Amino acid sequence: MSYTTKIKNELLKMEIQKSETIALLSGFIRNSGYFNNDVFCLSTENIYMKEMLEKSFMNLYHVEVSIDIKPGLNFSKRDLYVIRVEEKSQIILKDLGYYGEDLKYLEIPPEYITGSTEEEKAYLRGVFLSQGSINDPQTSQYHMEIVIAKPEEAIFVQKILNQYELNAKILNRDKGYMIYIKEAEKISDFLKMIGAMQATLYFENVRIYHDKKNHTNRLNNCEQANTDKIVEAATIQLKNIEILEENVAVELLDDKTKEALEYRKKYPEASLKELSSILSMETGKSITKSGLNHRFRKIAELASKFKS
């Protein structure tokens, strides 16, 4: 079962008020409804959605809908349920904000459909149940999208989403308009807003795991980079020492610099900080990292003369 299906199943099991049910149905039918031989139809592959629609039409309008089942084309596809609203269809479509009083399609739903915060959220729930999807955070990049056919409806839905600061954006596609959210935090906020709490918990757990993993990787990369710098610096210092020894030039150095040279040979993999601590401890003479670096610069300057 996909992550999107789990979200939708959770939403369909919620207990909601009558006005929220109307708003949810409005969001769903305005984005899934169509006419077939003058009969208003709704399609879904989700059996819980099919059952919710049957129950809602009966409870709200005392109407029994007809159900046609179209088998999936192969084993990977589920059956398609076609819900046919043959009785009181005009009354229902006007009540749910699909038609106006003149029986013409409304570009956006009437104000009473989304008059309160809870009704707005229910409308978004219906739209998401109809045309929404969210990638499983474990397998993909964070991505939520809702594909809507009509531009006015797309702008209306985007406006509601952005009232909650979700930073939803629209792209024009061949078959409509895609409203999408890419930010993980905003997707999580959307799930909480529409009431999918179990889906939110799962999403947040995966997100936290990814954040910690990425943080650990960054630390490891940083540590590796520092190790590489230490090794590179020590290798250059040892190469300079080798040049001085080959040219019998070590005696040209002062005693403190000779001492640094011997300790570098003794501890070839130590960082400057580690080497300064070791030298201070073993000789009883305090030497800072900066002071030790100054001595190795002297070695490098003298070696460069023999290189040239």
- Measure the CA–CA gap between 181 and 104, rounded to whole angstroms: 32
Sheet holding 34-36, edge to edge: 34-36, 39-44, 80-85, 66-70
Q: Is residue 29 scored above 70 in pLDDT?
A: yes
Q: Which of 259, 243, 227, 223 is nearest to 308 (CA)?
A: 243
Which pLDDT score is estimated for 119? 94
Q: Is residue 302 scored above 80 in pLDDT?
A: yes
Which pLDDT score is estimated for 161? 95
By the 8 A CB rule, do 247 and 241 touch? no
Q: What does pTM read for this prediction?
A: 0.69
Which pLDDT score is estimated for 66? 87
Across 151-155, average pLDDT: 94
**Residue 220 binned pLDDT confidence (cut-offs 50, 70, 90):** confident
What are residue 253's DSSP bridge partners? none
Q: Is residue 8 scored above 90 in pLDDT?
A: yes
| Burial (CB count within 10 angstroms: exposed 0-12, middle 13-18, buried 19+), residue 230 | middle
Identify the weakest region by mean pLDDT among 103-117, 151-165, 199-213, 266-280.
Answer: 199-213
62 φψ region: left (φ > 0), alpha (ψ -120 to 50), beta (else): left
Q: Report the chain's C-alpha Rg in angstroms.
A: 35
For every residue of 14-51, DSSP letters joined together read ----HHHHHHHHHHHHHHH-EEETTEEEEEES-HHHHH
The angle formed by the CA atoms of residues 102, 103 and 107, to the nearest 5 degrees, is 95
